[in-house]
Copies of this chain bind each other. A is one copy, B any other.
Amino acid sequence: MASPRSILLLLAVVPLATAYFRLPSPWGWKCNRENGRCEKFDDDGVSGHITLNHCKLTCGQYGVIWPQPKLVTLGNEVNYFLPTNVSNKITCQGEVCSLLQEGIGLFKGNLNRYHPECTNGSASFKGPWEKDVKEHQILLDIRVTGGETSLGFDTDESYTLTVTTLEGTTTALITAVSFFGARHGLETLTQLVEYDELRDSLQIVNSASVNDAPAFKYRGILLDTSRNFFSIKSIERTLDAMAANKLNTFHWHITDSHSYPLYLDSLPKMAWWGAYTARQVYTPADVRAIVHYGRVRGIRVLPEFDAPAHVGNGWQWAEKAGLGKLAVCVNREPWQSYCVEPPCGQFNLANPKLYDVLDIMYQEWIDIFSPIDSFHYGGDEVNLNCWNTTDEVTQWMDAEGFGRDADAYYKQWSVFQEKSRQLVTKANGGKEVPGIIWTSHLTEAGHVDKYLDPAKYIIQIWTKGDDPLIGELLQKGYRVIFSNYDAWYLDCGFGAWVGEGNNWCSPYKGWQTVYDNSPTNISRTLTANNNYGNQILGGEAALWSEQADEESLDARLWPRGSALAERLWTNPTTNWEPAEFRLIHQRQRLVNRGIQADRIQPQWCHQNDGLCYL
């Protein structure tokens, strides 16, 4: 054995970190097939250890696929290849073929993003490579039978994926009824690939078979672009990340009382008065581009125009233009008396010109977001004191003989809601689409069916997961979307923004809480019944943006949005624990794709499956 001193001297002659690190790592991994964990060992070079990425791809029942598919079989081996050697054949009809071509382009871009030195989607694979690596071919064979080009509640998102390797070619066969299923198949295929540091190449699992379909139809993320503005780039990043997690609904809470950032050709003064600054607007072209950006990623863009509360800034133009006040209580003080947070504002139901303007506004909204398969009317947190302390409103209520108690105001609110619904239907060429509305006074226990027709409205639940109202809504036949704030509000847990201490819905909802929030279990508990499955459309995580903008957006949404995605795609019967190793890897994948997802554990935990336990 060499003496310590001579070894220290020996080590000291290696001159450069960069050169030094071309030596093989002293560590290797091995899959423990009993518990599906990659275990780390000193690598003596003879015990058959593999790299961490090879192990992650092939260890455990689901490898590192996220969200977990229904049925998976994975091989243990990998083939090495270069992303330039990917070709495809597609079987499809009409416009589906061009969507598929775009989807394949995104798939190839995502392969490049596995390279640790990839910047903005272009990677610098440098080699040198062995012949078998350099020549290995990947063939995509994608077959779509249906012609749907726009996602609806009835779209079939299922797919099958079969990977086989014969001689120098790995073939991936994806079959689906719709483009939307096929693109999910491509995402899964991406997750059978990783970078190989030793060869400066990619690696793909040599054989696999996946049979997959989502548990819920509606799998959403809400972004509020009114409290703070989010650039188009940051919205695109959000859609990229959603696609990587097979989430399918981008619920755009585009306006609120704080700002109205949507520039409309038909009502340009709305944004002129209502946007925070002239630079912070979405143009009609921006919106159309986002709708398309979402579609090729399997995502419907659902617009929300929240009313009759949560309106305010922007509407000031109307009075100047001689239309009278379309909104009242705008920025009124003290805010605590007239709304739930500053600034206040609520529609002026006494002013009939409101409907003339809404008619114009809905026309353009529906046009730029088209085709729509549903419309979100908001409808939360109306403050009766605002209306009841506004002379114009109270005089109208008195003059019309409506009365002035709470029921009288709820009744007029529901009249406003029905008029809005008719204007949306008109704007949509007469075609009715389901309305979505938040739980609110209108949906309160006992009287929801007085105001909202279960055939026409879907209720989005934002109260707590133990709210008995959920049971009532299901029993009365409403379709529901879950966003109970005690698990799926991603803005919770930070400092207060009015006053001090922590914000209202603290604490922070960790990914484990997000993952374990099961609409199925909540519904069973509250109805003592299993029969409402078809009424649960799905769920959504909400990012209200009082305390987030594009700078911290990614860290707020991800990887917690991934936890949501597996709950909604897979609806697993297990809790977060067995999902942990895969989630950490999925988070890393998002980072590779340019999403600044938050870190949830030391990197040591990623390299030592199962050792960061309590």
**Chain A: residues with CB nearer than 8 A to chain B?**
1-4, 7-8, 11-12, 14-18, 20-23, 25-27, 42, 116, 197, 227-229, 258-259, 263, 265-269, 271-273, 276-281, 283, 313, 316-317, 320-323, 331, 333, 335, 342-343, 353, 356-357, 360, 493-502, 506-513, 516, 545-549, 551-552, 554-555, 576, 591, 596-605, 607-608, 611-614
Q: Which of A263, A273, A280, A601 has the most chain B CB within a 10 Å cutoff?
A: A601
* With A4-B321, A552-B555, A591-B551: A497-B601 Cβ-Cβ less than 8 Å: yes
Q: Looking at the assembled complex, report how far the CB atom of A385 sits from the nearest CB atom of chain B, in whole angstroms.
A: 18
A8 contact set on B, CB distance < 8 A? 266-267, 321, 356-357, 360
The minimal Cβ–Cβ distance linking A356 to chain B, given in whole angstroms, is 7
Q: How far is the CB of A9 from chain B (nearest CB, A)?
A: 10
Instruction: Given contacts A21-B281, A343-B611, A498-B614, list 20 more A-B pairs with CB under 8 A.
Output: A7-B321, A12-B266, A15-B265, A17-B281, A20-B263, A21-B279, A258-B602, A258-B604, A259-B603, A343-B604, A495-B509, A495-B512, A495-B600, A502-B507, A507-B508, A508-B508, A548-B598, A549-B603, A551-B596, A552-B596
Provide a sorted-by-A list of 25 A–B residue pairs whose CB atoms are within 8 angstroms.
Answer: A4-B323, A4-B353, A8-B357, A17-B268, A22-B278, A25-B277, A26-B317, A42-B316, A197-B278, A259-B603, A276-B604, A313-B604, A342-B611, A342-B613, A343-B608, A343-B611, A494-B508, A495-B508, A497-B602, A499-B614, A506-B508, A547-B598, A551-B555, A551-B598, A552-B596
Q: Enumerate the 3 nearest inter-chain pairs by beta-carbon distance, A residue then B residue, closest first.
A: A495-B510, A499-B614, A21-B278
Q: How long is the Cα–Cα vector from A608 to B313 in the complex, in angstroms? A: 12
CB of A418 to closest CB in B, whole Å: 23
B contact residues around A276 at 8 Å (CB)? 603-604, 607
Q: Which residues of B contact A546 (CB under 8 A)?
A: 601-602
Enumerate chain B residues within 8 angstroms of A612, measured Cβ to Cβ: 342, 497-498
Q: Are B510 and A500 in contact (CB under 8 A)?
A: yes
Q: Decide yes or no: A599 and B510 within 8 Å by CB, A23-B272, A343-B608 being known contacts.
A: no
Distance between Cα atoms of A21 and B261 in the complex (Å): 12
Contact status B20-A272, CB under 8 Å: yes
Q: Are A576 and B611 in contact (CB under 8 A)?
A: no
Flag if A512 contacts B497 (CB, 8 Å).
no
B322 touching A7, Cβ below 8 Å: yes
A322–B599 contact, CB under 8 A? no
CA distance A276 to B608 in the complex (A): 11
A547 and B495 contacting across the interface, CB-CB below 8 Å: no
Q: Is the CB of A508 within 8 A of B493?
A: yes
Bound Cα distance A42, B163 (Å): 64
Pairwise interchain contact A4-B322, C-beta atoms closer than 8 A: yes
Minimum CB–CB distance for A533 against chain B, Å: 27
> Which chain B positions have C-beta within 8 A of A18?
283
Distance of A511 Cα from B500 Cα, bound (Å):
9
- A366–B317 alpha-carbon span in the complex (Å): 65
CB distance from A359 to the nearest CB of B (A): 10
Cβ-closest chain B residue relative to A335: B611
Task: Point out the residue from B2, B279, B497, B500 that lies within 8 Å of A605, measured CB to CB.
Answer: B497
CB distance from A545 to the nearest CB of B (A): 7
Given A507-B493, A603-B228, check contact A283 B322 (CB 8 Å).
no
Q: Once the chains bind, are A26 and B272 in contact (CB under 8 Å)? A: yes
Also in contact, A272 and B508, with CB within 8 A (given A333-B611, A552-B598, A611-B333) = no
B228 engages A602 (CB within 8 Å): yes
Q: Which residues of B contact A335 (CB under 8 A)?
A: 611
> How distant is A437 from chain B, measured CB to nearest CB, in Å?
24
Name the distance in Å between A584's Cβ and chain B's nearest Cβ. 10
Docked complex Cα distance between A15 and B285 (Å): 12
Q: Which residue of B lies closest to A266 (CB)?
A: B12
Contact A510 B493 (CB under 8 A): no
Q: Shortest CB–CB separation between residue A13 and chain B, in angstroms?
A: 9
Whether B272 pairs with A599 at a CB distance below 8 angstroms is no
Residue of B nearest to A278 (CB): B21
Residues of B within 8 A of A228 (CB): 599, 602-603
- A603: contacting residue among B229, B267, B498, CB under 8 A: B229
Which partner residue on chain B sits nearest A506 by CB separation? Answer: B507
Could you say which residues of chain B place their CB within 8 Å of the CB of A12?
Answer: 265-268
Does A597 lie within 8 Å of B551, measured CB to CB?
A: yes
In the complex, the answer to whether A17 meets B258 with C-beta atoms within 8 Å is: no
Q: How far is the CA of A538 from the CA of B424 in the complex (A)?
A: 61
